[in-house]
Amino acid sequence: MHPFSYVAPKTIDEAVAVLEKNGTRARPFAGGTDLLVQARANKWDLDTVVDIKKIPETMSLEVSQEGLTIGSGVPCYQVYNNEQIKKEYPGIVDGALIIGGIQIQSRATIGGNLCNAAPSGDSICPLIVYNAVAHISGPSGSREVAVEDFCTGPGSTVLQNGELLVKIVVPKPNAGSGTAYQRFTPRNEMDIAVAGVAVSVQLNNNGDDFESVRIALAAVGPTPILANKAGSSLSGKPINDDSISEAASLAKEEASPISDMRGTIEQRKHLIEIITTRMIKEAVKRARG
Amino acid sequence: MVQVFENKTSYNVVGTRPIRHDGIDKVTGRAIYGADVKVPGLIWGEVLRSTEVHARIKSIDTSAAKKMPGVFAVMVHQDLADPGTETTRNGLQDVDREFFNIMAKDKVLYKGHVIAAVAAIDRNTAQEATRLIKVEYERLEPVRNVDEATSPNAPILIEDLIGDHLGENVANTNIATHFRHEFGDVEGGFKLADLIVDREVSLEMVHQGYIEPHNATVIWHEDDKLTVWSSTQGSFGVRDQTAKFVGVSPSQIRVNYSEIGGGFGGKTKVYLSPIAAILSKKSGGKPVKIVMDRPSVFQATGPAPGGKVKVKMGVTNNGKITAAEATIRYEAGAYPGSAVNAGAICIFGCYNIPASRIDGFDIVVNKPKSAAYRAPGSPQAAFAIETVVDEICENKGWDKIQFRLDNAAKKGTRRGDGVLLEKVGFEESLDATRNSSHWNSPLGKPDNGKLRGRGLACGYWMNGGGPSTCDLMLSDDGTVMMNEGSADIGGTRASIAMQAAEVLGLAAEDIKPSIPDTDSIGFTGTTGGSRTTFATGYAAYLAAQSMVKELKTRASILWEIDETDIEFSNGVFRSTKESELKLSIKELAEKLGVTGAPVSTTSSVNMAAGGNGYAVHICDLEIDPETGKTDVVRYTAIQDVGTAIHPSYAEGQIQGGVVQGIGWALNEEYFINDDGSMANYSFLDYRMPTSLDLPMIETIMVEVPNPNHPYGVRGVGEVPLCPPIAAVGNAINDAIGKRIYEQPIKPGRILDAISKD
C-alpha cells in the first residue's frame, strides 16, 4: 500500500469535486470495512480517500410519514437499534444485523454495502423488495436509481465518475405488508451468504390472499436479483402451500449462480427454493402481525 | 530416561486450580507478543511471494526495487547460506528442504512461495518495493492432490528427490517415502474374519488457524552476533534453524522469548527469522521486523496434510478383531515431511490387533509445506479407523463401547508400529464413557423437522518426551525464581511451577516462572508433542528435589546436627531426634546467608515418550435436512489425562482440541482452485467455528497415572483433536442414515447424501 491522502469534505459539492478530479484513484470512505481491506489487497490504487462522514446529508437517519431515509454514511448499528425502524422495516434490520460482527456493524454502512455491490451483500435484497431508491449526486446534478438497478456486476454499479451515493430512501410500507430476509451460511454468524432471499408481501384486506409480492435473491448471480416471475406469480393468489411452492420453484429458476468455494450451483439453486418458501411464510406472518 | 514411579493419589498443589502466573500480563495487555516488539532504529521487511502454483523461475530482476527511495536491502535465495545436509539438534521436521521453502531458488512449488525480500524504512515502502521486483516464470502443470501426484505422467515437483520406497531408492517421483509396519499373519487374520469392512476416506488440508500471524525481528550486530524475537513454540529451534540458513553458529544467536498467540504445531517451523537476519545484515545492522498478513499465513504456512486413508478390518462373529490393514497417503505439501509417520503409529493405537499392516506414503504436491497440527497425522487416521469400527458395530448390531472394550489397547498391546504399550487408560476411559450422563441421556427431539444423531469415536496420541531444562533459585523471602525453556502455549508456566511447588511444599504462587532467552537457560526442545508439562515439569521436579537436598545440608549446618537426621515434608524441615528443631522453607530462606552460598539448582532431562493419551468423544448434532446445515448440540470429551496438574487448563486443552476438531469435521478446508491455488485464504471463507457454532464442550477427565512420571503426567493437549472428525461423521450417519467419507462434511455434501435416496 502506498501513501494516500485523506480528505473530509463538509458538503456534497466538495465531495463530488474531489471524486471527479481524481477518477478511479479516489474512493468515497464511509465505514471503510470493505475499502480499507480492498486497498490493502491492492484492489484499488488510491491517491485519495474521501471521508463522507462530515457531510450532514450522508449522516441523516430519518423515519417519517413518507418513508425511511438512510444516509450513505450511517452505520448499521444505528439502523438496527432504531425502535421505529425495527417496528416498521424489519426486513432492513434482518440484513443490517448480520453484516459482520458488532465491531464491523459499528462502522459499516448500508450505503457502503450497496456500493460494494457484492452479489451476497446482505442489505441489498431487503432494500430491493422494499422498493428503495438510491439518491445520487454527481458533477451533472442529482439523480435517482431504483436499488434493483443499482448494481451492474460483482463490485460494479451505475455510479459514474464523480458520482456519490448520498442516501437511500425506502417508501413507507402499507398496512398489511410484511418483509423478511434470511441467508444460508454454514456457520451461524460471521459468514457470507451461500444464498439469500428477501421477500416482501402485500396482503389483501382479509389477509388471506397475496396482493403483490417482491422477491430478491442474493449470491446467486452477478448482482442481487429481483426475481420478477417468482414475485408476480403470487399476485392475487391465495396464501397456501401450492402458491408458495410454485413461487419458490420460479425463484429457483431465476437464480443463476456459479460454483465456487462457498457452494455449488445445485446447492445454491436448491437453497433458493428452500429459503424463498421460508421467507414468504415469514413475511406473511409479519404482515399479519 | 525411563523411570517407573508409584504414583500418589493426593497432593497439596497438584490438582488445584491456581490463577496462572502470566494471567494478569495477558489480560491487561502487558504481555509482549512477537509483533509488539519495538526496537530503536527499526526498519521493516516484506517478502515477494509467488503468484504461480508451480513454475520455474527464469529470472528475478530486483534493480527497480533496489533503487526505490527508502529501501535498504533486497535479497534472494542466493543470499542465504547453504546449510549442506545436516539436520538441527531439534530436528523434529525435515529441515533440510526448508532451505528452499524459506525462499525459492529456481522453482516455486506453491502460490505464496517466497521469492525475494526487501527491507525499507517502513512497512508500506517495503511492500511497494516488492511490487517492483520482476519475476519471469515458466509455468508448469500443478499437482493438486495425492492422486494427481502419483499418476503415471505426473509432473515432478522436486527433480533431485530420491524417494525411499520400502528401502529402494527411486528417482523421478513425487512419493518421498513409502514405508510399511507389519506384524502377525495379516492374510490369515482376514481369513478368520466373519466380516471385513474396507473403506477409504479423503481429507483436504486444514490450517491451525492461530490468530497471531508469524513474525520475526532480527538485529545482525556488528560483531556478527544476532538478536532475534519471534513468536515460536521453540526458541532453540528458531536459533538453530536461523543459524543454519544464515551461516553462523547457534551460539552467535540469542533468541528472546515472546508470548505466542496460538501455534498448535504451526509455530514449530521457521519462516521469517533467516530472512530478517539477512536483511538486517545487508542493511548495515538495522533491526528488521517482518510480520505476515493473513493471506500469507494461509497460503504459505503450516497446513495439516490432506490425503486419503484406507482401512480394512476383519472381525469374528463374537466381536474380536482378527486383522487390520491401512494405507495412509498424506500430502506433505511442497517438500517431504508430512505427518504420515505419526499417522501410522496412531491409526491402530486404540486396539489390540493380532495382525496388522500399515503402509505410509509421504507425497509432495503443489501446496504449502505441511506442518505439525495438534497430534499431527492422527485425526485424519482416526477418521478412517473410527468410521470403519462404527460401521462394523452398526452392521453387527454391537454395542459400540463393548466392542471397543473387547478389543481395547492395554498394557502389553503391540501398537501398529511394533511398540509394546506401557500402562494406559483406554479401558478406564471407555468405562467412564459408558457411565457418563451424556451416554445415558436420550438424544432428545429436535424441532422443525430437523434430524438428530449421536456419534462416538476414539483417538490415540503417543505423546512426546525430549530435552528440557529448569533452574530454581531460592530468594530470601522464601519464594523461588524459576527459569524454564519451554514456550508457554497452554498454561505450562503454571503446570511446571506447580510441580516444583509440590516438591518444595510451597504454594504455586510462591514459584515465579520465567522463560528466558536462549543464552540464559539450558537447551529445551520445542513445545509440541504434548511434552511440556511432562518433560519440563519433570525437570522442575528434579531441580526441586535437588533444592530440598541442598536445604537439608543448610539446616544441618544451622542446627549442627547430622544431615541424615533431618526429614522434609510439606515444606518443613525437622530433626527426627529433637522435636523443637523445625524450620519451614521460608524460615530457612532468611537464614541462608550464615550457612553458605545462595541456593540455586538446575536440572536437565531427556525424556522418553510421554505416556500414551486416549480420548473417547460423544457428539450429538442436529441437521436441517432442507439445507444440510449441521449444529452440534451436545459434546462430551472423555480423556485419560494421567494426572491433571492444573485441571482447568487440562479441561481447556480438551475443549480447545474439540472445537478445532468440529471445525475440521464440518467446514474447514483448503478449497483449491482449478489452477491449484487456494481460494479461501481469509477467515471469512476459511470457515472455522465461532462461539455461536458450538455448545459448551463437556469434559470428563479420567486419571490413570503415567508410571514414567513422578506425578503421573500424560500429555493432554493433542489427543482431544483426534476423535472429532469421526465422532461428527458417525453422528451425521446416525442422523441421516448416510455415511459421508469426504472431509469436510459440509452442507452441500450432506444435501447430496440425503438426495441420493
Q: Model confidence over B625-665: pLDDT tens digits?
A: 999 999 999 999 999 999 999 999 999 999 999 999 999 99
Mutate to test the interface with A, among B127, B211, B629, B694 (most CBs of A within 10 A): B629
With a cut of 90, say whether residue B86 has pLDDT above it.
Answer: no
Instruction: Return the C-alpha cell found at B49.
Output: 511471494
**For chain B, how many structural domains are there in total?**
1
Task: With CB atoms and an 8 Å threshold, state whether B128 touches A190.
Answer: no
- Helices B724-736 and B647-666: crossing angle in degrees, nearest 10, is 50
* Per-residue pLDDT, A44: 87
H helices then E strands: how many in chain B?
A: 19, 28
Does residue B587 belong to any structural domain of this protein? yes
DSSP 8-state class, residue B65: H
Cβ-defined contact of B687 to A187 (cutoff 8 Å): yes
* Chain B residues closer than 8 Å to A188 by CB: 631, 690, 692-693
What pLDDT, on a 0 to 100 scale, did the predictor assign at position B92? 35
Together in a domain, A40 and A88: no
Q: What is the largest CA-CA distance in chain A?
A: 62
Instruction: Give the type of residue at B19.
Output: I
User: Coil, strand or helix: which one is A11?
Assistant: coil
The crossing angle, in degrees rounded to 10, of helices B492-504 and B532-559 is 30
In this structure, are strands B480-484 and B226-230 parallel, antiparallel, or unpaired? Answer: unpaired
Residues B336-371 pLDDT 10s: 999 999 999 999 999 999 999 999 999 999 999 999
**How many angstroms separate the CA atoms of B492 and A82, rounded?**
48
Report pLDDT for B150. 98
Choose among A74, A86, A139, A84: nearest CA to A111: A74
Q: Are residues A110 and A197 in the same domain?
A: no
pLDDT surpassing 70 at residue B38? yes
Q: Which of B296, B627, B690 is most worth mutating to test chain A (most A CB atoms within 10 A of its CB)?
A: B627
Q: Can you give the pTM of this predicted structure?
A: 0.96
- Going from the C-alpha of B297 to that of each of B303, B310, B379, B558, B686, the distances in angstroms are 9, 30, 22, 59, 12
State the cell numbers at A93: 434490520
pLDDT for the residue A289: 87
Q: Which of B458, B385, B461 is nearest to B613 (CA)?
A: B461
Question: How far apart (Å, rounded) are the C-alpha atoms in residues B484 and B686?
Answer: 36
Nearest to A186 among B124, B692, B746 (CB): B746
Mean of pLDDT over chain B: 95
Number of domains in chain A: 3
Amino acid B97: pLDDT: 87
Q: Which helix (H) or strand (E) holds A91?
A: helix A90-96
Provide ipTM, 2 decimals. Answer: 0.95
Q: What is the pLDDT of residue B93?
A: 39
Alpha carbon distance A195, A230 (integer Å): 16
- A209 and A265 belong to one structural domain: yes
CA–CA min distance B1, chain A (Å) = 47
Distance CA B717, CA B487 (A): 14
Cβ-nearest to B128 among A2, A194, A262:
A2
Show residues of chain B in contact with A46, CB under 8 Å.
none
Inter-chain contact B693–A188, Cβ cutoff 8 Å? yes
| Residue B483 DSSP SS3 | strand
User: Where residue A108 sits, what CATH number does that domain have?
Assistant: 3.30.465.10
Q: CB distance B684–A191 less than 8 Å?
A: yes
Q: What is the Cα gyration radius of chain B? A: 27
Looking at the predicted structure, is the pLDDT value of residue B87 above 70? no
Going by pLDDT thresholds of 50, 70 and 90, the confidence category of residue B88 is: very low
Asked if the C-beta of B694 comes within 8 angstroms of chain A's C-beta atoms, the answer is no
Assess whether A16 and A69 both reside in one domain: no
Contact A191/B at CB under 8 A: yes
- The answer to whether the Cβ–Cβ distance between B690 and A264 falls below 8 Å is no
How many beta-carbon pairs below 8 A join chains A and B? 55
- CB contact under 8 Å between A186 and B671, yes or no, is no
Residue B720 to chain A, least CA–CA distance (Å): 22
Q: What is the pLDDT of residue B1?
A: 52
Q: Chain B residue with minimal CA distance to A39?
A: B124
Average pLDDT over residues B572-593: 94
pLDDT over threshold 90, residue B85: no
* Whether residue A276 sits in one domain with residue A181: yes
Cβ atoms < 10 Å from Cβ of B85 = 7
Report CB contact under 8 Å: A184, B293: no
- The answer to whether the beta carbons of residues B364 and B146 sit under 8 Å apart is no
Where do runs of H (alpha helix) occur along B602-723? 647-666
Which residues does chain B have within 8 Å of residue A3's beta carbon, measured at their own beta carbons?
Answer: 124
In this structure, are residues B259 and B24 in contact, taking their beta carbons and an 8 Å threshold? no
User: CA-CA distance, B393 to B455, in Å (whole number)?
Assistant: 12
Enumerate the residues of chain B whose CB falls inside 8 A of the CB of residue A271: 627
Sign, Cα dihedral of B269, B271, B276, B282 = positive
Distance between CA atoms of B596 and A123, rounded to whole angstroms?
Answer: 76
Three-state secondary structure call for residue A79: helix
* Residue B456 confidence (pLDDT) above 80: yes
Cβ(B480)–Cβ(B509) below 8 Å: no
Rounded to the nearest angstrom, the minimum Cα separation between A199 and chain B is: 19
Give B2's pLDDT tier (boundaries 50, 70, 90).
Answer: low
Query: Would the CB atoms of A187 and B680 count as touching at under 8 Å?
Result: no
Q: How far is CA B555 from CA A41, B487, B504, B546, B589, in A?
A: 67, 35, 15, 14, 10
CB-based contacts of A228, cutoff 8 Å, min separation 6: A254
Q: Which residue of A has its CA nearest to B677?
A: A261
Q: What is the CA radius of gyration of chain A?
A: 19
What confidence category does residue B95 fall into, taking pLDDT thresholds of 50, 70 and 90? Answer: very low
In a domain, residue B127? The reply is no
Residue A232, exposed/middle/buried by CB under 10 A (0-12, 13-18, 19+)? middle
Q: How far apart, in whole angstroms, are the C-alpha atoms of residue B59 and residue B52?
A: 14
Q: Is the peptide bond before B213 cis (omega within 30 degrees of 0)?
A: no
Residues with Cβ within 8 Å of A10's Cβ and at least 6 positions away in sequence, in order, are A54, A55
Q: Cα distance from A186 to chain B (closest Cα, Å)? A: 6
Average pLDDT score over residue span B703-717: 95
- What does the pLDDT read at residue B654? 98
- B245 close to B83: Cβ distance less than 8 angstroms: yes
In which band, very low, low, confident or very high, does the pLDDT at B610 lie, cut at 50, 70 and 90?
Answer: confident
Best B624, B626, B728 member to test A by mutation, with max A CBs in 10 Å, is B626
Q: Does B685 touch chain A (CB under 8 A)?
A: yes
pLDDT number for residue A236: 97
The CATH number linked to A183 is 3.30.390.50
Distance, CA of B303 to CA of A197 (rounded, Å): 35
B334 CB-side CA count, 13 A: 30
B3 touches chain A (CB under 8 A): no
Estimate to the nearest angstrom the gap between the alpha carbon of B506 and the chain centroid: 32
For residue B325, the 8-state DSSP code is E
Q: What is the DSSP string of B171-232?
A: -S-SEEEEEEEEES-HHHHHHH-SEEEEEEEEE--B----SSPPEEEEEE-TTS-EEEEE--
Look up the domain containing A224 and give its range: 177-287
* Beta strands per DSSP E along B52-139: 55-61, 71-76, 107-108, 114-120, 134-139
Cβ neighbours, 10 Å, residue B289? 25
The confidence score (pLDDT) of residue B94 equals 46
Distance CA B551, CA B589 (A): 9
CA atoms within 13 Å, Cβ hemisphere of B656: 21
Tell whether the model's pLDDT for residue B499 goes beyond 90: yes
Interchain CB distance below 8 Å, A274 and B627: yes
Say which DSSP state A175 is in.
Answer: T
Q: How far is C-alpha B714 from the geometric centre of its chain's CA atoms?
A: 15
Q: What is the mean pLDDT of residues A185-214?
A: 96
Q: Do B685 and A184 touch (CB under 8 A)?
A: no
Give the CA angle between residues B328, B330, B332 to the nearest 5°: 150
CA-to-CA separations, B566 to B130, B168, B570, B615, in angstroms, rounded:
69, 63, 13, 44
Say how many C-beta atoms besides its own lie within 10 A of residue B170's C-beta.
Answer: 14
The enclosing domain of B539 has a CATH number of 3.30.365.10
The tally of CA atoms less than 13 A away on the side-chain side of residue B547 is 35
Cross-strand pairs, A199? A180, A215
| φ, ψ (nearest 5 deg) of residue A144 | -120, 135
User: Is the pLDDT reported for residue B256 higher than 90?
Assistant: yes
pLDDT at residue A180, as a whole number: 98
Starting at the edge strand that comes first in sequence, how are the strands of the sheet with B582-584 ordered? B566-569, B572-575, B582-584
B24-32 mean pLDDT: 95
- A5-7 β-sheet, strand order: A5-7, A48-51, A26-29
In angstroms, what CA-CA distances link B424 with A133, B351, B613? Answer: 69, 12, 8
Q: What is the pLDDT of residue B384?
A: 98
Q: What is the pLDDT of residue B611?
A: 87
Provide the pLDDT for residue B447. Answer: 82
Note whether A263 contacts B: Cβ–Cβ < 8 A: yes
Taking the Cβ of residue B124 and every Cβ of chain A, the question of whether any pair is shorter than 8 Å is answered with yes
Question: A20 and chain B: CB distance < 8 Å anywhere?
Answer: no
Place of cell 493473513: B294
Under an 8 A CB cutoff, do B747 and A194 touch?
yes
Q: What is the mean pLDDT of residues A178-191?
A: 96
Q: What is the dihedral of CA B125, B128, B129, B130, to 10 degrees?
A: 130
Q: Which of B627, B679, B684 sits opposite A184 (nearest CB)?
A: B627
User: What pLDDT, in 10s, does the model give residues B278-328?
Assistant: 999 999 999 999 999 999 999 999 899 999 999 999 999 999 999 999 999
Q: Pick from A41, A186, A190: which is nearest to B747 by CB?
A: A186
Q: What is the mean pLDDT of chain A?
A: 97
Which pLDDT score, from 0 to 100, does residue B91 have? 35
* Per-residue model confidence (pLDDT) at position B527: 95
**Rounded Cα gap, residues A222 and B495, in angstroms:** 55
- Please choose, from the candidates A81, A53, A80, A58, the residue with its C-alpha nearest in 3D space to the C-alpha of residue A69: A58
Q: Compute the distance between CA of residue B51 and CA of residue B134 in angstroms, rounded to an integer.
A: 12
Which residues of chain B are within 8 Å of residue A41 when distances are taken between CB atoms?
Answer: 295
Between residues 201 and 260 of chain A, which touch chain B (CB distance below 8 Å)? 260
Q: Cα–Cα distances in Å, from A268 out to A33, A197, A265, B284, B627?
A: 26, 11, 5, 57, 10
Residue B583 domain boundaries: 23-31+464-607
Q: Kindly list the residues from chain A whose CB atom is less than 8 angstroms away from the CB atom of residue B627.
A: 184, 271, 274
Does any CB of chain B come closer than 8 Å to the CB of residue A184? yes
Contact A186 B124 (CB under 8 A): no
B545 to each of B244, B504, B606, how far by Cα in Å? 37, 8, 17
A85-141 pLDDT per residue, tens: 999 999 999 999 999 999 999 999 999 999 999 999 999 999 999 999 999 999 999
Residue A43 pLDDT: 87
**CA proximity to A2, closest of A60, A45, A55:** A45
Q: Given phi > 0 = left and psi -120 to 50 = alpha, else beta, which region is B137?
A: beta
